Amino acid sequence: LRQGADFKLSISTLRISGILPSTGDIQLQTEHLATRQDSVVEDISAGCGIINFKVNRKLLVQKMLEPFGKEEDDKFGLNSELFNTLKKGTTLVEYSSPNIAKKFHAGHLRSTIIGNFIANLKQCLGNNVIRMNYLGDWGMQFGLLGAGFAQFGCQEKLKENPLQHLFEVALLVRIDLSKRHVYVQVNKEAEHNEDMKQAARDFFRQLEQHDNEAVSLWQQFREITVDEYQQVYKRLGVHFDVYSGESFHQHQAQEVVQQLQSRDLLKTSEKGTGVVDLSTSGDTSSVCTVLRSDGTTLYITRSALGQRVRDIFNLTDKSQANHFRQLFHILLAMGHSWADRCKHVPFGLVRGMKTRKGEVVFLEDVLDEARARMLHNMSQSKTTKEMDNPEDTAEKVGISALIVQDFRGPLQSDYKFDWDRMLQAQGDTGVFLQYTHARLSRSVFTTELDVLCSYDEVLYQSAQDLQPKHLVNFLLKLCHLIASAHRELPVKGSAQDVAQARLRLFSGACSVLANGMRILGITPVDQM
C-alpha cells in the first residue's frame, strides 16, 4: 500500500486473512466488499473474484509529510513495524584492522568503510554497537622489525617521521641500500642472512616471554602507529570504541592451547607444528595449524575470543574466508556456543587503483588525490558557490565519491577503480548525491516522491544481507526524482498552501537523503 500503486486482491487472499468468510458465493462477496466506503482506498471495483483498488494518494502524501518539519526528522522510517522482527542487542563489528608499524595501506579502505556502514546501520536500528579495530600488532613481523631496528633504526628519525622511517615501499621510492628504511632493509637482509632470520625469531620469542626491552620497543611502535592512523580515520569520519589486537589475546592464546589439549583436539604434525583436525566439521581444509614448531602462536590462535555479545561481524577480503571458517569451527569444537553468532563479511578487491604518482599503496595518497581532483572540478564549474573552506568541501565530496563507487555493487565482487567516472557531477555518483543535498539544503511535490515511503524497506533489506547497494541505489533514485521535481514544481510563485506542502516535501527529502548518507559513512555538505 505504501507505494500508492494499483492493486488486485484475490478472494482467496481475503479469506485467508479473515477479511471475508471462508464460505459463500465468491462473486457476491467480492461485489459486496467493493461497495464499502474507505478513506484509505479509492476506485474500488470487482470482477471474477478479484477486487481492484487504488490507495488514496492525497491521504498517502499527508501521512508521509506528517513527520517532516518536526524534531523527529532524523527518525523518519526508523519506527517502522518492519524492524520489530529484527533481533536487537549488543553487536560487535570488527573492521579496518591494519598492521601496525606500517603506513595505512589503501587495501584497508574497503574494510574500513564497509565496517563503518554496518556499524552505522546496526546502531540506527537500535542496537548497542561496539566498533572494534583489531590491529595486526603481534607475530613474526615484529620479530623481524625489532631485530632490524636494533641494527638500522634511529630514534631521532623515528620521532621526526615515524612510519616513514619504519616502512618505505620499494615501489614508491627507490633508494640505495645504505639509505633504505628499516622494514625494507630488514627484509632484504633476511633474504640472504640466516643470522638475521634467527635474530627475528629470537626477538619475537622475547616478546612472547615479555622481555622488558622488547616489549618497550613494541609498545613505542604501536602507539605512534595508532596516533597516525587516527588522523586518517578522522578524514574518513570513522571512529572506534576499542583498539584491540592480537597482542591483547597473547595470554589467552596459551589458554586456548590448553583447552585444545584438554579436549584432545591438538595434534602434532610431522613438521612439529601444532594442528587441529577439522575433518569431522566438514571444513574443506581439514587441518589447521595453530602453533609453530618452536611453540610460538599464530594469528588464528590469537584471534578474537569470547566476547559476550549478540552478534560479531568480522570484515576482511574474501581471501580470508577459509581462515574464519576454520576459526569458527575451532571455537565451536572448544564448546563456545557464541561462535554461531559470528559472521565473516567478505568483500572483493579493488583493481587498478592509481594516483598521478603511480601505483597506489597508501590511503593518504588516495584521499589527497580525491580532494585535489574534486577541488579542481569545483573550480571549473560555473555553478560552484562561494564558500569559506572549499578544501574541506572538496575532501568530503571526494570521500563521498569513493564510498559510492565502492558501494554500488555486491560487496563480494571485485571492481575497477575509475577516477573520472567516480567524480562525475552527473550520473549515479557520490558527487551527485552531495550536489542534490546541497541544493535541497539551500532551496526550494511530485506524487512520485512517495518513494520516500519505501525508506524503511530499504533499511530492512540492508539489515538482512548487510549490502550497502540497496541504500545507495535508493538514495540515487531519490536524487533523480528530486531533480525532476525541482524543474517542474517550483515553490516560488505558487499558492501559499501548495508552496508550504512542496517546501515540507523537499525538506523531508533532504532529511532522508542526509540520514541515508550518514549511514553510508558520508558527511553531507550544504554548499558545493
pLDDT tens, position by position, 234-267:
999 999 999 988 777 666 777 778 888 888 888 8
Is 135 inside a domain boundary?
A: yes
Is 45 inside a domain boundary?
A: yes
**Alpha-carbon gap, residue 152 to 148, rounded angstroms:** 6
pLDDT tens for each residue of 316-347: 888 888 888 888 888 888 888 888 888 889 99
Q: Do 331 and 465 lie in a common domain?
A: no
Q: Do 334 and 369 lie in a common domain?
A: no
Q: Do 183 and 221 lie in a common domain?
A: yes
List CB contacts of 150: < 8 A, sequence separation 6 or more: 199
3-state secondary structure of 476: helix
pLDDT tens for each residue of 162-203: 887 876 422 222 232 233 455 556 665 555 567 777 887 888
**Alpha-carbon gap, residue 499 to 183, rounded angstroms:** 65
Q: Do 367 and 432 lie in a common domain?
A: yes
Is 283 inside a domain boundary?
A: no
Q: Do 130 and 173 lie in a common domain?
A: yes
Residue where a domain stops, chosen among 313, 347, 381: 347
Q: Residue 23 CB: number of other CB atoms within 10 A?
A: 8
| Sign of the Cα pseudo-torsion (183, 185, 190, 194, in order) | negative
pTM: 0.80
Is 1 inside a domain boundary?
A: no
Q: Which one of 54, 63, 88, 105 is the catalytic residue?
A: 105
C-alpha cell read off for 449 = 516522491
Contact predicate 94/115, CB 8 Å: yes
Q: Do 337 and 424 lie in a common domain?
A: no
Q: Which one of 102, 103, 181, 437 is the catalytic residue?
A: 102
Q: Do 74 and 50 lie in a common domain?
A: no
Number of structural domains found in the chain: 3
SS3 content of the chain, % helix, strand, coil (to 5): 55, 15, 30
Q: Residue 182 CB: number of other CB atoms within 10 A?
A: 24
Contacts within 8 Å (CB) and 24+ apart, 196-203? 196/147, 196/148, 199/147, 199/150, 200/140, 200/143, 200/144, 200/146, 200/147, 200/148, 201/140, 201/143, 201/294, 202/143, 202/147, 203/142, 203/143, 203/144, 203/146, 203/147
Half-sphere exposure of residue 489: CA atoms within 13 angstroms, side-chain side: 18
Residues of the chain under the 70 pLDDT cut:
1-27, 29-34, 36-38, 48-49, 69-73, 167-193, 249-251, 280-285, 299, 302-310, 358-360, 442-448, 450
Is 525 inside a domain boundary?
A: no
Q: What is the pLDDT of residue 170?
A: 26
Q: Residue 306 CB: number of other CB atoms within 10 A?
A: 12
Dihedral over alpha carbons 477, 480, 485, 487 (to 10 degrees): 180
Q: Residue 191 CB: number of other CB atoms within 10 A?
A: 9
Is 325 inside a domain boundary?
A: yes
Burial 371-401 (b: 16+ CB within 10 A, else e): bbbbbebbeeeeeeeeeeebeebbbbbbbbb
Q: What is the pLDDT of residue 180?
A: 44
CB-neighbour burial class of residue 486 (10 A; exposed 0-12, middle 13-18, buried 19+): middle
Reported residue count of the chain is 528
C-alpha cell read off for 21 = 468468510
Q: Do 305 and 445 lie in a common domain?
A: no
Q: What is the pLDDT of residue 281?
A: 52
Q: Do 169 and 310 lie in a common domain?
A: yes
Residue 234's CATH number: 3.40.50.620
Q: Do 321 and 434 lie in a common domain?
A: no
Q: What is the pLDDT of residue 524?
A: 95
> What average pLDDT is seen over the chain?
80
Is 271 inside a domain boundary?
A: no
List CB contacts of 247: < 8 A, sequence separation 6 or more: 135, 137, 138, 218, 222, 302
Q: Is 105 a catalytic residue?
A: yes
Supply the range of the domain harboring residue 371: 63-85+363-520
DSSP element (H, E) containing 155: helix 155-160
Closest CA to 477 of 432, 440, 417: 432
Contact predicate 54/7, CB 8 Å: yes
Q: Strands 6-10 and 50-55: what pairing?
A: antiparallel
Q: Do 198 and 119 lie in a common domain?
A: yes
Closest CA to 120 of 517, 528, 501: 517
Is 274 inside a domain boundary?
A: no
Q: Do 206 and 336 lie in a common domain?
A: yes
Dihedral over alpha carbons 102, 191, 246, 237 (to 10 degrees): 20
Q: Which one of 108, 165, 437, 470 is the catalytic residue?
A: 108
Q: Is 480 a catalytic residue?
A: no
